[in-house]
Amino acid sequence: MTPKTRLTLGRASVFMLVLSLLVGACQSASLPDSDAGDGVTTSEGLPSASSEARASTTTSTSTTSSTTTTTIPTPEPIPIAPPQGMELVWNDEFDGDAIDPENWTYDLGGWGWGNGEAQYYTDRPENARVQNGLLVIELRQEKFENSYYTSARLKTQGLHAFQYGRIESRIRVPKGIGTWPAFWMLGDKFDRDAVDPTNSNWPNVGEIDIMEYVGREPDLVVGTLHGPGYAGAGGLTRWNRQGYDIADDFHTFAIEWDSSGIRWLYDDEIYYDLGRDAVGNREWVFDQPFFIIVNLALGGTLGGTIGLDTEFPIYLHVDYVRVYQPVAGAGG
């Protein structure tokens, strides 16, 4: 990677520190000490990447800012290998020169996204681009509109949506206290009031968090399901701890989803198996198409207080996103 700029305590940085502390004051400072146990559990103080799911109609404003060149080598390729009885129906290997507009669009804006997040999402190449066969999302410390950080959130909304199958991505998450990357899905009927962005039809449309990660818990990834009556801190969650820092390498994050339920996988190992009966007498809203989202947030209800020693810029690298579904007539 290119050299990063370390925060220093000059007058401008003191101002940034005060701002970060104010943002973090209302955020959870740490996750509970223990993993969720076997069986269906709620998140108990662990809100999801969308304590309120979100989509803004704000238009980004360009600034004079140079694009950083990342130097991370492309990882050893993983061949496309459909699970038994499935076929590849959609993918992006990020092998071109630019982000494919037929696959991805952007959420734009910096209003906190329902979670008190610090970043302003843009569609600039400074924040999202393709390099070395990877999608690069760059989180920058810079003044932009009403924010002091910029990043990107890409989505397939309005372009591609999927019901059932295996949805998989190979990702290298970033280091840094306060970072909050996610790979997730929202029901394709998701809609937000253009005048009042806090008014939406979430969680009734459903949300599947395939992967959430926070820099202050470097050995932990989280999978969560949100729907009517089981959302936010009450989402159905499973923690998956490892014996190493997850940000040290690329890992695959996936779900296998059918009419009976959803299973979460980390590096091809199932760590959470949630059947539709887990919601009890509440509505199961996962028999409909969902679109895909990948983003890198900072701070907020799950990201927590931004670390004083967090170095910028920060990168999220995505090797591919693939969707497999059952072969027509093959059953399953």
The counts of H helices and E strands in the chain are: 2, 17
- Which is it for the CA torsion 318, 176, 144, 53, positive or negative? positive
- Concerning whether 311 is annotated as a catalytic residue, the answer is no
Residues 6 or more apart in contact with residue 90 via CB below 8 angstroms: 160, 162, 322, 323
Helix (H, G, I), strand (E, B) or coil at 57: strand
State CA 34 to chain mean position distance: 23
Closest CA to 73 of 319, 253, 296, 246: 319
Report which secondary-structure segment, H or E, holds 12.
Answer: helix 11-24
Active-site hit among 52, 117, 126, 207: 207
- Beta-carbon count within 10 A of 11 CB: 7
Residue of 52, 117, 126, 212 marked catalytic = 212
Question: CA 208 to CA 215: how far, in whole Å?
Answer: 21
Residue 102 annotated in active site: no
| Catalytically annotated residues | 207, 212
